[in-house]
Structure 1
Amino acid sequence: MDRLDLNLLAALDVLLAEGSVTGAARRLGLSTSAMSRTLTRLRAATGDPLLVRAGRGLVPTPRAAVLRDRVHQLTHEVRAVLRPHLTEVDLAALERTFTLRVSEGFLEFLSVPVVAAVARAAPRLRLRFAPKPDRDARPLREGMIDLEIGLRGVAAPEIRTRFLFHDTLVGVARAGHPLLAESPVTAEGYAACQHVAASREGDSATDFDAALARLGLGRRIMVVVPGYPDAMRLARHSDLVALVPRSCLGHRLMNEDAAIAGLASFALPVPAPTFMISAMWHPRMDADPAHRWLRDTVMSVCRQAYPR
């Protein structure tokens, strides 16, 4: 333990992130020669060259590539252990990066007010939005994700959850679509249309299709796209009809101001299930004052956009 130098761990994290002695020196406030000496010490400690010359730059060795994520996580954990525990946070001086895992709909309609609210209070805080391909809790457990917005998974009982708002499915078609002449839209008229579907439609869409099937009807899906914003874009510029969560329309469209986007929403002709949108985080972040402020801010924005 007498020879353990945690500064080497931090230096290795920055070197592997930058892939450059000069860049790492700049980030750590060291001279290039001092950073070179640190790299020499790291090579001796690990028994690996770590970064080797390739043309005018440096590239990581296979061992360095394997170590990169592990070293970053270890550095984060060491800093958390050695950081004084604070009950209050100076938002104006806060310099951290938080990763939020969100759906395409959240990114399309709620990322702007969330970023604006964060920037006003904590201008040095950085937000990183990550895609939400599934409901796997592993990224929350392993610290890769700090806060998640969406449907809760079923295999992570320890994950903290805060309800945000109820959502449901609605139909969407271009303004002036012949289907909208029906009031209300009938199941037969709806099923007779051609449809665009998002590839990640979940259990609620399955339940809706089952309700249509009990009437002897079904959607004729002509196009499948990656996400709901893509489905809405196609519906806006064609006669295709889309099935989307109400939250994807944005709160202005929920107030029937549909002309803004050239889309019209309508109630589905069979009962559509409702589902809960929640904020989720790992309990390790419960007492972190900066995280607590961030999740309160995100929750406030969501609830203003979609009141209960």
Structure 2
Amino acid sequence: MPLPDMNLLVALDALLDEGSVVGAAQRMNLSPAAMSRTLGRIREALGDPILVRAGRGLVPTPRALALREQVSHLVEQAGQVFRSAESVDLANLDRAFNIRTNDLFIALYGAQLLRMMHEQAPRTVLRFVPEGGQDDDAVLRDGRTDLLISSSIDLGPEIKVQRLFHTLYIGLARREHPIFDGPITPERFAAYPQISVSRRGRANGPIDAELALHKVQRHVALITPSFHSAMFSLPDSDLILPMPANILASVNKLDLPLRAFDIPLPMERVTVMQAWHPRYHNDPAHRWLRQTLKACCQMEMGEEGQWV
């Protein structure tokens, strides 16, 4: 029995990941016409159209959906045959790593992470990718993002996840804010306009659920995509910004007239995680990146991995 063309398997993996002939062609450095011909060969070999037209785009058939994980696993296994899973020559590693995270994580850890990386791998490049509208798991599946770092990761079951640290939410307001004129109770906390930081534009979260137990409701007057931009709205207003406690070190460096306080609610700890696609799980250079990032975060943590 003749062996199947393994190039078709790689092309099928790219097509299923991208959901687009043009996107798969770009990934494999082929022309769209060549990828279209390859798709025709895949359809003939499998006896299924694999991708069908839906409006202006393409959608996978049920057979394609059933094959997606199997194909991805086979391509990953084949790739491991041609690369060492034991070690990497860090001194000569010439590679750019793309990490998607928010601006304050970059401010807190970016410089230290780069220093730690260059101590062992001076030729590496660290590229931070801003958070955007694309879904987190899609960002990892497309192969162009090495790591996703976030406290709100909603990913598919195949994505690998590792905890980096825990932190708590605290409040931040201008130094002369009237909230500091008396004991900070849930009622007084909710009495002032607040900022919600959400790249998806959400106004509500765990704080609102806790306030509801006290039969009070806060007014979210401003929604921003990042904590960094939100901070600069505080000095000239009565706005309150709930934020992770580990950000406070970055706030203090800005020398803004701001003051932190404990939120008078039993808030759950926030878990910050790093996530990656299985295609990189056994890659030695990527494993080194994950270990370095974990060590970088642990330098600022207590023994329990919690911000102190």
* TM interval, short-chain normalised: 0.5 to 0.7
1:103-141 deviation line (CA, Å, top 9, x unaligned): 232123222211222233222101111123466312223
1:290 corresponds to 2:285: yes
Q: Secondary structure at the match of 2:86?
A: coil
Q: 2:144 and 2:205 mapped to 1: Cα distance?
A: 31
Q: 1:84 and 1:215 mapped to 2: Cα distance?
A: 58
Q: Secondary structure at the match of 2:205?
A: helix
Q: Is the 8 A contact 2:196 2:203 kept in 1?
A: no
Residue number in structure 2 paired with 1:36: none
Residue number in structure 1 paired with 2:272: 277
Q: Which blocks of at least 5 consecutive residues in structure 2 are unaligned?
A: 1-6, 8-20, 36-74
Residue number in structure 2 paired with 1:175: 175
Pairwise CA distance, 1:300? 0.8
Residue number in structure 1 paired with 2:188: 189
Query: Structure 2 matches for 1:158-173, cutoff 5 A?
Result: 158-173=158-173
The percentage of aligned residue pairs carrying the same residue is 30
Residue number in structure 1 paired with 2:148: 148
Residue number in structure 1 paired with 2:121: 122
Q: 1:173 and 1:258 mapped to 2: Cα distance?
A: 16
Pairwise CA distance, 1:287? 2.1
Q: Secondary structure at the match of 2:294?
A: helix
Q: Which blocks of at least 5 consecutive residues in structure 1 are unaligned?
A: 1-5, 7-62
* Comparing 163-172 and 151-160, the one that deviates more: 151-160
Q: 1:141 and 1:269 mapped to 2: Cα distance?
A: 40
Q: 2:86 and 2:23 mapped to 1: Cα distance?
A: 37
Residue number in structure 1 paired with 2:232: 233
Pairwise CA distance, 1:83? 5.4
Pairwise CA distance, 1:271? 1.6
1:302 corresponds to 2:300: no
Q: 2:22 and 2:243 mapped to 1: Cα distance?
A: 44
Q: Is the 8 A contact 1:152 1:280 kept in 2?
A: no
Q: Secondary structure at the match of 2:100?
A: strand
1:246-274 deviation line (CA, Å, top 9, x unaligned): 23323x77xxx689443221111222122
Q: Is the 8 A contact 2:230 2:241 kept in 1?
A: yes
1:71 corresponds to 2:70: no
The alignment's TM-score, normalised by the length of structure 2, stands at: 0.66
Q: Is the 8 A contact 1:167 1:247 kept in 2?
A: yes
Q: 1:269 and 1:146 mapped to 2: Cα distance?
A: 38
Pairwise CA distance, 1:95? 0.2
Residue number in structure 2 paired with 1:199: 198
1:210-268 deviation line (CA, Å, top 9, x unaligned): 22133232222222222111112212443321111223323x77xxx689443221111
Pairwise CA distance, 1:278? 1.4
Residue number in structure 2 paired with 1:87: 86
Q: 2:269 and 2:22 mapped to 1: Cα distance?
A: 48
Q: Is the 8 A contact 1:108 1:229 kept in 2?
A: no
Query: Structure 2 matches for 1:23-38, cutoff 5 A?
Result: none
Structural RMSD (CA): 3.4
* Comparing 203-212 and 292-301, the one that deviates more: 203-212
Pairwise CA distance, 1:146? 1.0
Q: Which amino acid aligns with 1:249?
A: L
Residue number in structure 1 paired with 2:38: none
